Structure 1
Amino acid sequence: MAMTLRLTDDQDRALTLLARAQGSSKQEAAIRAMVAAAARVVADAEVADLARVYVPEYADVDKRLRHSR
């Protein structure tokens, strides 16, 4: 599937630097960054879910943190 990604000049420079550091194209660097970010979000959500189930005290802390944002 094709997609156009509109970036500011600063975002494009950041992506260019990331691609150079990885020795890849900007497209590959963007894909890697998205996959890594998704993996972190999913892992964080899984850890939070497990903590709510197995550590009852966590539920109160989680609730307070969510309301403080």
Structure 2
Amino acid sequence: MAMTLRLTPDQDRALTLLAEAQGSSKHEAAVRAIVTAATRLVNDDAVAQLARDVIPGHAALEARMRRARG
């Protein structure tokens, strides 16, 4: 599904910095940010599986988040 993302110059700069830090494209950085936020806020097995598929090393992150939730 295609979507246009309209960002302020400051938001674009933040996304650019995020992409550079990850060594990825801005598209990939945005996708990772969305999936990461969803896994933190939504307790859903489908979202967790998507994160495992999209984000390398997500399993360790997911385990830490589960421990932090208690």
What is the CA–CA distance in structure 2 between the aligned matches of 1:24 and 1:3, rounded to whole Å? Answer: 19
How many pairs align? Answer: 45
Q: Which amino acid is the alignment partner of residue 8 of structure 2? A: T
Which position in structure 2 is the counterpart of 1:33?
A: 33
TM-score scaled by length of structure 1: 0.61
Sequence identity (%): 76
- The one-character-per-residue Cα deviations of 1:12-47 (angstroms, maximum 9, x if unpaired) are 00000000000000000000000000000014xxx8
Greater Rg over alpha carbons, structure: 1
Higher relative helix content: 1
What is the CA–CA distance in structure 2 between the aligned matches of 1:5 and 1:32, rounded to whole Å? Answer: 15
Q: Which amino acid is the alignment partner of residue 36 of structure 1? A: T
Provide the secondary structure at the position in 1 that maps to 2:24. coil
Q: Which amino acid is the alignment partner of residue 23 of structure 2? A: G
Question: For the aligned residues, what is the CA RMSD?
Answer: 1.7
- Structure 2, unaligned runs of 5 or more: 44-65
